[in-house]
Amino acid sequence: MPNAVIVGTQWGDEGKAKVIDYLTEKSDVIIRFQGGSNAGHTVIVDGHKFVFHLVPSGIITPGKVCIVGNGVVVDMEQFLKEVDDLMESGISVEGRLMISNLAHLVLPYHKAIDQASESSRGESRIGTTGRGIGPAYADKVSRIGVRAGDLYEWDIFCEKFKAGFASAKQKVELLHNAPFDLNEEEILERYSKIRERLLPFIKDTSYYIFDAERAGKKLLFEGAQGTFLDVDHGTYPYVTSSNTISGSACTGAGVGPLSINHCIGIVKAYTTRVGNGPFPTELTDSTGDMLRDVGKEFGSTTGRPRRCGWFDAVMVRKAIQLNGISRLALTKLDVLSGLSEIKVCTHYEIDGWRTDQFPPNTQQYERVTPVYNIIPGWKRDISGCKKFSDLPSEAVNYIKQIRELCYGIPALIVSVGPERSQTIEVDGI
Ligand code: GDP
Ligand code: IMO
Ligand code: MG
């Protein structure tokens, strides 16, 4: 398979990790390029469930090299927890897991700012994961961040940590009007202990990736979140703090654009969103409850119930445009089984006008009324289907309708269950 980047086309949790795990077999180096432990990436293999927040989802496959790129903000304690969990499951990461020396760290004080900032917003809070992501990226662009490579020189790490800590203290006290109860010395003591374990993982990964590519190795870039959580192109301010679209793979891994040959957009067969913000096709009725129950739509990071709604082709078309998507992977088709009819949003109406385009600002987006096509559903359970020809004709029709509404982009994969084996390959690349 050529080098490919995997992105979410909706608001995250599209099933990216399942597809990444599946495609890892055909790749050599898997690279996370943005986000942090706000991501929750689930892979299920032979009944064993792995949930990754930082470690790339390719790690389960023996021999594959996994990289946490410079664009990721890394909570080192969470990273080590994932390494420990993998070791407990009998998966060795030795020599095949790296963190870029340029990746910024998420430190305990970033989480404190995240929480204080959310509570100060009251009703208009974003509904963040509370993992300190926004404040860590804010420190990065304010040039007061601490990077993984700073751990090499303990004095420098301490100096930068103390400056960041003092700035966080001011922010929290201002936002929260309450004392800042983190203990600087205690955190530094903890980091001085884990530092020795972390150092072997920290590398200049852009050189590694460059050399791997020259040696003919295949690269798979693992996106986190989804297109509409992108800080520029998403439903701002109800977004995350990084660029989640495919272009971010270059800056977040340290490669040029010609290192990426394909972009695979992961599309859930319906839509979900965690956290606040507009969601035109949201279902607050029993169908929404059914999608949540059958699809087990509860956040992999926070356990929050995900808001559920119909498939929105306006969004996915915009995602195709923004990411340069060349193939789609349609996930969770099995969840729709049993519905007598399924709705698909084809376009919007805003203030009485029809539009096929995603509105340019969130105020307009909040006023959108979705316009639907109604498609006949299928009764039969499809979770055991192995080939495209095993699917009922109504499910095939649903896939074709989505393809027609999405610029004719073919599906590479149709996923009919959470297990690695519940994957139908449709079209090669
Ligand atoms: P990601 O963040 O995009 O990697 O997605 P998550 O892992 O947060 O959420 C997707 C959830 O759906 C996980 O619990 C997966 O195990 C599950 N899943 C993935 N693909 C399918 C599928 O085709 N059918 C069903 N029923 N579950 C799936
Ligand atoms: P994966 O990679 C779904 C959402 C949060 C919140 C907003 C901002 O698993 O698809 P943040 O903590 O990033 O500042 O929160 O973004 N969010 C996600 N929603 N899946 C994710 O990741 C998400 N990562 C962040 O719920 O609305
Ligand atoms: Mg997720």
**pLDDT confidence bin for 180, thresholds 50/70/90:** confident
Residues 23 and 76 in one domain: yes
Q: Are residues 370 and 338 in the same domain?
A: yes
Residues 114 and 26 in one domain: no
For residues 412 and 425, the answer to whether their CB atoms sit within 8 Å is yes
On whether residue 99 sits in a domain, the answer given is: no
Query: Does a structural domain hold residue 363?
Result: yes
Residues 259 and 194 in one domain: no
How would DSSP label each residue in 176-218? HSS-----HHHHHHHHHHHHHHHGGGEE-HHHHHHHHHHTTPP
CATH number, residue 178? 1.10.300.10
- Regarding the beta carbon of 274 and ligand 1, being less than 6 Å apart is answered no
Mean pLDDT on 92-102: 97
**Residue 13 belongs to what domain range?**
4-94+204-425
Please indicate, yes or no, whether residues 186 and 330 belong to a single structural domain of this protein: no
Tell me if 384 is assigned to some domain.
Answer: yes
Q: How far apart are CA 43 and CA 81, in angstroms?
A: 17
User: Are residues 230 and 180 part of one domain?
Assistant: no
Atom in ligand 1 nearest the alpha carbon of residue 51:
7
Closest CA to 310 of 340, 276, 278, 287: 287
Q: Taking the CA atoms of 226, 229, 230 and 234 in sequence, report the sign of the dihedral they define.
A: positive
Report pLDDT for 307.
Answer: 98
Residue nearest ligand 1's atom 18 by CA:
418
Judge if 249 and 358 occupy the same domain. yes
Domain co-membership, 10 together with 66? yes
Last residue of one domain, picked from the residues 183, 200, 217: 200
Ligand 2 binding residues, C-beta < 6 A = 8, 11-13, 38-41, 126-129, 131, 133-134, 224-226, 229, 240-241, 274-275, 300
Q: Do 172 and 219 belong to one domain?
A: no
Report helix angle 313-323 to 393-405, nearest 10: 60
Last residue of a domain, one of 150, 176, 200: 200
Looking at all shown ligands, the one closest to residue 274's CA atom is 2
**What pLDDT does residue 427 have?**
74
Whether residue 153 is contained in a domain is answered as yes
pLDDT at 428: 61
Does the residue 319 lie in any domain? yes
Residues 221-275: tens digit of each pLDDT: 999 999 999 999 999 999 999 999 999 999 999 999 999 999 999 999 999 999 9
Q: Are residues 237 and 349 in the same domain?
A: yes
Which residues, at least 6 apart from 186, have a Cβ–Cβ distance to it below 8 Å? none
Q: Which are the catalytic amino acids? A: 13, 41
pLDDT tens across 330-376, in order?
999 999 999 999 999 999 999 999 999 999 899 999 999 999 999 99
Q: Is the CB of 306 under 6 A from ligand 1?
A: no
Place of tokens 């070791």: 87
Last residue of a domain, which of 167, 200, 233? Answer: 200
Atom of ligand 1 lying closest to residue 224 CA: 2
| Ligand 1 contact, 14 CB (< 6 A) | yes
Q: Are residues 221 and 167 in the same domain?
A: no
Would you say the CB of residue 331 lies under 6 angstroms from ligand 1?
Answer: yes
Please work out whether the CB of residue 332 comes within 6 Å of at least one atom of ligand 1: yes
Ligand nearest to the CA of 415: 1
Query: Which CATH number characterizes residue 67's domain?
Result: 3.90.170.10
Place of tokens 């927040």: 53
Residues 190 and 272 in one domain: no
| Residue 293 alpha carbon to ligand 1 centre in Å | 13
Q: Which atom of ligand 2 is nearest to the CA of 242?
A: 13
Q: What is the CA radius of gyration of the chain?
A: 21
Number of domains in the chain: 2
Ligand 1 geometric centre to CA of 14 (Å)? 6
Residue 289 lies in a domain: yes
Which of 425, 35, 18 is closest to 224 using CA atoms? 35
Ligand 1, atom 13: closest residue by C-alpha? 42
Domain presence at residue 109? yes
In a domain, 39, yes or no: yes
